[in-house]
Structure 1
Amino acid sequence: MSDRPEENALVPGPPPISFEAQELDDETRTEDRRGELGRLPQDILFQQRKLDALSHLTGGLAHDFNNILQGLLGSLQLAQRRLAIGEADKAGRLIDASMAAGRRAAGLTHRLLAFAQRQSLDPKPVDVAALLRSKETALREALGGNIALHMEVAPDLAPTLCDPRQLESALLGLAANARDAMSEGGALSLSLTGVVLAGEAAAAENVPPGTYTCLTVTDNGSGMTPDVCERAFDPFFTTKPMGQGTGLGLSMIYGYVKQSDGSISLQSRAGEGTRLRILLPEVVDLPQPIQTEGHLVTAGANPLVLVVDDDDMVRDLVTQVLSDAGYRTIAVGDAAAAMTVLRGGVMPDLLLTDVGLPGLNGRQLADAARELQPSQKVLFVTGYAANAVVGGGEFLEPGMSILMKPFEVGELTAKVAEMLESRH
């Protein structure tokens, strides 16, 4: 796996940022700096390395975003010029280019949130064995014809608590890394087993005692040197040539696994391949569905959506999109105003709320709304979930869901329609 470290011993997922001095463009200067750091007192050394790592992270982030913004702003400015002189046919292509740049920016922020363990996850019971088998064709296509894929799945595995879409993304990302590490061909092995960890074994993995699903991904590619292995999970660290990798792939998987209360480690040696091991907790308790009364929406019922967002631009956008789709809307800027509406006897078919509201946050608003109407359906719209919506491996309650900002207009209407058509 080319974007990942190869090591001589099993290495647990490192801290999100490696405290090793890093400079983006001047390797000689970096070596001199490291020599100076070695002569500093330990506490000053630690802080300096921390700042150097943050400098590497922010430098990489600024570089990528500047490229995206150049394409976005430049395309919009040219489109504005074309429209001003009546060349609307030429403006369409430029608008498409600006939208593509916006999607690239959205992808970058999602990866950064994943690394920071702050992305919005929708954990649910997942049959990982079935998911793995369903992705076999996609994995083989990602690997190409000169790499063999071997899968071994233990029988009767319990469901795993995770976000299935993120797990699918992680699998495809690991397959792509393995492909790049085996340019001359090779083999990739995927093994799925159940393990019980207690005492020292759980402590060694840095997870609570319990039962876990273990996914082991092994390739016989080029492997990694110990120094590369040490930095494999660092954001913006990559061994690929300039322009061929962002260095966010493994850091994103690391963040997803840790946010899912799991563990990730890797073992590699230069010239001998790489083994990556992921532990995800098995499901203990399943949520019980809430029996709803009077919130089943039928065709032509013209459902009412209460929109809550403190950002005027986002609130207006959501309201316009929903109105165009045929929904009635009430829009307010904070939880206090929303509670005034709800206490006034209004019973919306859906409460659509941002999480980061002033005063009561979106989750607190949802809880208060359900005290008034236990069957209230809630769609959280957020760009930074942290633990405000769901954390610690807990489920969202039935009748609740999450939509991650930034979203496509079609994604919003599809999600709202999906929730309103559901009985729970």
Structure 2
Amino acid sequence: MNAHMGSWLDENERYRILIDAITDYAIYMLDRDGHVASWNAGAERFKGYRSEEIIGQHFSRFYTPEDQAAQLPLRALTLATTEGRFENEGWRVRKDGSRFWAQVVIDPIRAADGELLGFAKVTRDLTERMEAQAALEHARDALFQSQKIEAIGQLTGGIAHDFNNLLMVVLNSMELLARRIPFDPRVTPLIENARQAALRGSSLTQRLLAFARRQELKLEAIDPAETVHGMLQLLQHSLDPRIQIRLDLASPLPFVKSDANQLETALLNLAVNARDAMPDGGTLLIRAHTMHLPSAPEQSLPVAEYVCITVADTGIGMDPATLSRAREPFFTTKGIGKGTGLGLSMVQGLIGQSGGELKIASTPGVGTQVTLWLPSTTEARTDADRFDHVAAEHGTRTSARVLLVDDDELVLVTAKAMLEDLGHVVCAVGSAAQALELLRRGETFDLVISDHAMPEMTGLQLAREVHAAWPRQPFVLATGYAEFARDDTRNLRTLMKPFNLAGLRALVAEVRGG
């Protein structure tokens, strides 16, 4: 062997060693007909074939059946021959039958005289990159959806606050009117109809606030098993008799921390949704068990013990498109006039404010499962925490001197009339500054009731000013929704709008009694 030939072999050997060392790319040669003539370690790594298994085989076996049927392998070699290169991306098939997303380049190999000797083929596995791109797109979509829901929440929260003020005026004006005029069969039923319509509006407003997570919740320790058992009779009367209700409650279940009334309403909403999904009857299963979430960076809930309450039906289920929109406010499949589309949104708002999460799974023709994840608590429920407004209905009628503060004149006039109807002396002002001026002049009051959402100085800011200067002054903050952090009001009584005469009477009795 002459020196020139030895040098050529050495060069080819170095080239072969270099190609075999590359594991991120499949680099191999094809003969003129497309049969594999060489095979490197990269090709073996992500295609799965050893060199002795694949050399001599046609490269079309790497293509999907649909690409083979479309004669893509032949077109790839033809284009490489005529155009000087073939390059594209697509699905390819591994030895085990699994698919991967590949970037493919095929270049013709020619002799010095231009004769076609074969092809050099380079394939790169882009599956991970494609999956990462898909995950990024999904995250972008989720972020957009979250921002959209947050924007809608802010809008509905503000609208609901204004509605609460208006509804309070209507409701209580109707109630005062009914108390002050004698019964008239032509008038009294109309007053009651107006009051009932306003109450329905108030219920709708509460759902809006729940969706926007701006309702003021009374978080307390709740026995979930007791809550479900306590609702059983109501559910039996509310659902179609063809629907069988089954309970599967683990024992014992720890307490959870949420708003008892709102949680019952949420479960009722889910049961009604399940009923509507089973027009021909079926089974409604309410299941509750504990679940401890270990540490995991991808989970949305903090590490803790949770009580999972699932409401499952055997109804029509939801397809993926409907399921993806199920949490959206005002989205409903029940038809015009048959649903507000706020049921699941309200439930989601409650669970979010309770520190938990709402999860939904559904299969068309099989049914839907909605699970409420609520953090467990070691706190014990104390019945003393619950103030019975009904018991206070017949409380003291001793006159109190009340300073009433609200920037909405309609609300101010109505609330003043309500307090006066209860026998109290009322001084009504339209701003926090006017209230402070009266107090600084030495005026004394048994109680200050102030709206929170006021310009220049909010009710919470007024409360701080009053408590700083007159620490023994009883103060109640009235609000249409939870506009402030709970820590800000832990030592402050609150009154939720729209309030009525009974609630107002109970509040004054509680404050004066405490």
Q: TM-score, normalised by structure 2?
A: 0.57
Residue 59 of structure 2 is matched in structure 1 by none
Contact in 1 for aligned 2:397/2:422 (Cα 8 Å): no
1:402 to 495, 498, 508: 495
Residue 497 of structure 2 aligns with an amino acid whose one-letter code is M
Q: Residues 300 and 283 of structure 1: is their aligned pair in 2 closer, same or farther, counting only changes over 3 Å?
A: same
Q: 2:288 aligns with which of 176, 180, 192?
A: 192
Query: CA-atom RMSD, angstroms?
Result: 4.0
User: Contact (CA 8 Å) 1:321, 1:413: kept in 2 or not?
Assistant: no
Partner residue of 2:320 out of 209, 222, 226:
226
Q: How far did residue 47 of structure 1 move?
A: 8.2
Alignment partner, residue 226 of structure 2: 130
1:342-381 alignment to 2 at 5 Å? 342-343=439-440, 348-372=445-469, 377-381=474-478
C-alpha separation between the residues in 2 aligned to 1:300 and 1:397? Answer: 28
Larger RCO: 1 or 2 (CA < 8 Å, sep 6+) = 1
Quick one: distance in 2 between partners of 1:260 and 1:97? 35
Counterpart of 2:431, as a letter, is D
What's the offset of the Cα at 1:311? 1.2
Q: Give me the whole-angstrom Cα distance separating, in 2, the residues matched to 1:320 and 1:225.
A: 53
Evaluate the alpha carbon distance shift between residue 409 and residue 230 of structure 1 in structure 2; reply closer, same or farther with a 3 A threshold. same
Q: Judging changes above 3 Å, is the alpha-carbon distance between structure 1 residues 191 and 53 closer, same or farther for their aligned structure 2 residues?
A: closer
Matches within 5 A, 1:18-29: none
Maintained 8 Å contact 2:479/2:494: no
Name the CA distance, whole Å, in 2 between partners of 1:128 and 1:395: 28
Does residue 338 of structure 1 match 2:435? yes
Report what 1:141 is aligned to. Answer: 237
Structure 2 letter corresponding to 1:308: V
After superposition, the Cα gap between the structure-2 partners of 1:152 and 1:353, relative to the gap in structure 1 and judged at 3 Å, is farther
Q: Does 1:277 align with 2:371?
A: yes
User: How far off is 1:329 after superposition?
Assistant: 2.5
- After superposition, the Cα gap between the structure-2 partners of 1:179 and 1:285, relative to the gap in structure 1 and judged at 3 Å, is closer
What's the offset of the Cα at 1:271? Answer: 0.8
Map 1:3-402 onto structure 2 (within 5 A): 90-200=186-296, 203-204=298-299, 206-283=300-377, 299=396, 301-343=398-440, 348-372=445-469, 377-386=474-483, 388=484, 390-391=485-486, 397=490, 400-402=493-495
Q: 2:50 matched to which residue of 1?
A: none
Query: How many residues get paired?
Result: 341
Q: Distance in 2 between matches of 1:396 and 1:284?
A: 23
SS at match of 1:282: strand
Q: 1:176, 1:162 → 2: CA distance?
A: 21
Letter in 1 for 2:212: A
Q: Is the CA contact 1:379–1:403 (under 8 Å) kept in the aligned structure 2?
A: no
Q: Percent identity?
A: 35
In the alignment, the residues of structure 2 paired with residue 212 and residue 110 of structure 1 have an alpha-carbon distance, to the nearest angstrom, of 26
Contact in 2 for aligned 1:377/1:399 (Cα 8 Å): no
In structure 2, relative to structure 1, the CA distance for the partners of 1:347 and 1:168 (3 Å cut) is farther
Match of 1:12 in 2: none
Letter in 1 for 2:211: F
Alpha carbons 1:355, 1:385 under 8 Å: kept:
no
Distance 1:52 1:409 in 2: 35
Partner of 1:413: 505
Name the CA shift for 1:50/1:308 in 2 (closer, same or farther; >3 Å): closer
Contact preservation (8 Å) 1:232, 1:250: yes
Deviation at 1:140, TM superposition (A): 1.7
What is the rounded CA distance, in whole Å, between the counterparts of 1:328 and 1:244 in structure 2? 46
Are the aligned partners of 1:375 and 1:399 in contact in 2 as well (CA < 8 Å)?
no
CA distance in 2, matches of 1:343, 1:217: 56
Unpaired runs of at least 5, structure 2: 1-139, 160-165, 171-183, 386-394
User: C-alpha offsets along residues 312-335 of structure 1, whole Å, 9 cap, x if unaligned?
Assistant: 221121111111101232322223
CA deviation after TM superposition for structure 1 residue 346, in Å? 5.5
Measure, in 1, the Cα distance between the counterparts of 2:380 and 2:430: 34
CA 1:334–1:155 in 2, change beyond 3 Å: closer, same or farther? farther
Tell me, in whole angstroms, the C-alpha distance in 2 between the residues paired with 1:376 and 1:259: 31
CA shift in 2, pair 1:209/1:365, >3 Å: farther
CA distance in 2, matches of 1:287, 1:216: 23
The 1-side partners of 2:511 and 2:234 are apart by: 29
Match of 1:102, SS? helix
Counterpart code for 1:214: C
- Residue 15 of structure 2 aligns with which residue? none
Q: Which amino acid aligns with 1:277?
A: T
Distance in 2, matches of 1:268 and 1:106, equals: 31
1:84-140: CA deviations, max 9, x gaps? Answer: xxxx75344444333333333323222222212222222222222222222221122
Measured in 1, the distance between the counterparts of 2:282 and 2:271 equals 12
- Separation of aligned partners in 1, 2:302 and 2:466: 34
CA distance, structure 1, for counterparts of residue 148 and residue 431 of structure 2: 37
- AA aligned opposite 1:397: R
The alignment partner of 2:463 has SS state of: helix
Shift of 1:191: 1.9
Contact 2:254 2:378 (8 Å CA) reproduced:
no
Aligned equivalents of 1:214, 1:395: Cα separation in 2: 30
> TM-score scaled by structure 1?
0.69
Equivalent-residue separation in structure 1 for 2:492 and 2:358 (angstroms):
32
Distance 1:48 1:326 in 2: 51
Residue-by-residue CA offset, 1:41-99 (whole Å, 9 max, x unaligned): xx99x9899999999xx9xxx9xxxxxx9xxx9xxxxxxxxxxxxxx753444443333
Distance in structure 1 (CA, Å) of the matches to 2:396 and 2:346: 41
